[in-house]
């Protein structure tokens, strides 16, 4: 399975999955249709699936046009997003699985950013390969999504599910927010030397116009403050020893950053 990262809108990423043997494709969170249609034309591939993580328009805005071009495409989304995702036919819950070509993804229910948010995790087929996590707006490189419909407790539980995946998992998040996320992270975890190095590396990448997605989950676990609510340095910044309250206070700081 090949993964193509397509730029959309101002800072969105759309992910096109391509299975070359059958020359079929699936798309994760098509913010708009044109980048997807252009890549499909280049590959001469048929779109067979749309995997939506949640209902926000910058993740589903291309659904209708893609369905017009590929009437047989199957549209997936969370069960609790019923009526909010254009063209949705399959309503997924925690523990469900979805197939694409010869790969199978596990569905993870991750409410917090929205009440119905889901993520798709493709485990590796070989022990030497990474897994592939498509997490929408739940986990970002260096950050996490705002809480629009969920609670801090829900978000901590959701992020904990993602944090429990193998360290070598690729994190395919849906926005290029990394530089600003790390700039904030340094304000609450300033003594983290790996975070300092990462920030400097990302500054160089972005100055060249290069993407920072995917990131690696092992790096997120060591540098992303929203996966480190048990760490004394973060609890000190939040002035709380409670993990959920630590997360909530840091998320509140980020909202005002």
Domains and their CATH numbers in the chain: 2-255 (3.60.15.10)
Average pLDDT of span 106-113? 98
Annotated binding residue at 58? yes
Catalytic (active site) residue 167:
no
Catalytic (active site) residue 56:
yes
Q: What pLDDT is stored for residue 188 in this prediction?
A: 97
40: pLDDT strictly greater than 90: yes
pTM over 0.95: yes
Angstrom distances, CA of residue 229 to CA of 52, 124, 215: 28, 28, 20
Structure tokens at 197: 């190095």
CA–CA–CA angle 168, 175, 6 (5° rounding)? 85
Bridge partners (DSSP) of residue 24 are: 19, 46
Q: How far apart are CA 172 and CA 13, in angstroms?
A: 9
Structure tokens at 200: 């400097």
Q: Which tens digits make up the pLDDT trace of 51-65? A: 999 999 999 999 999
| pLDDT-based confidence at residue 126 (cuts at 50, 70, 90) | confident
- Which one of the listed residues 18, 29, 54, 55 is annotated catalytic? 54
253: pLDDT strictly greater than 90: yes
- Which one of the listed residues 18, 29, 55, 56 is annotated catalytic? 56
Structure tokens at 161: 């599910």
């Amino acid at each position: 399975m090949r993964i193509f990262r397509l730029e959309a809108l101002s800072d969105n990423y759309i992910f096109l999955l391509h299975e070359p043997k059958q020359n079929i494709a699936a798309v994760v969170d098509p913010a708009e249709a044109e980048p997807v249609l252009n890549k499909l034309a280049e590959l001469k591939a048929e779109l067979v699936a749309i995997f939506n993580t949640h209902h926000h328009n910058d993740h589903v805005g291309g659904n209708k046009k893609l369905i017009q071009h590929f009437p047989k495409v199957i549209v997936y989304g969370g069960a609790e997003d019923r009526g909010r995702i254009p063209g949705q036919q399959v309503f997924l819950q925690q523990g469900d699985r979805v197939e694409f070509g010869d790969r199978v993804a596990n569905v993870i229910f991750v409410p917090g950013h929205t009440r119905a948010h889901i993520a798709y995790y493709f485990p590796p087929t070989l022990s030497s390969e990474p897994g592939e996590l498509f997490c929408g707006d739940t986990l970002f490189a260096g950050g996490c999504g705002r809480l629009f419909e969920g609670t801090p407790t829900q978000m901590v539980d959701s992020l904990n599910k993602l944090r429990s995946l193998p360290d070598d998992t690729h994190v395919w998040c849906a926005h290029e927010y990394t530089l600003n996320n790390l700039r904030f992270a340094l304000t609450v975890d300033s003594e983290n030397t790996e975070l300092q190095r990462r920030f400097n590396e990302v500054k160089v990448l972005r100055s060249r116009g290069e993407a920072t997605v995917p990131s690696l989950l092992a790096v997120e676990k060591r540098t992303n403050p929203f996966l480190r609510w048990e760490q004394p340095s973060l609890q000190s910044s939040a002035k709380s020893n409670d993990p959920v309250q630590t997360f909530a206070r840091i998320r509140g700081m980020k909202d005002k950053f």
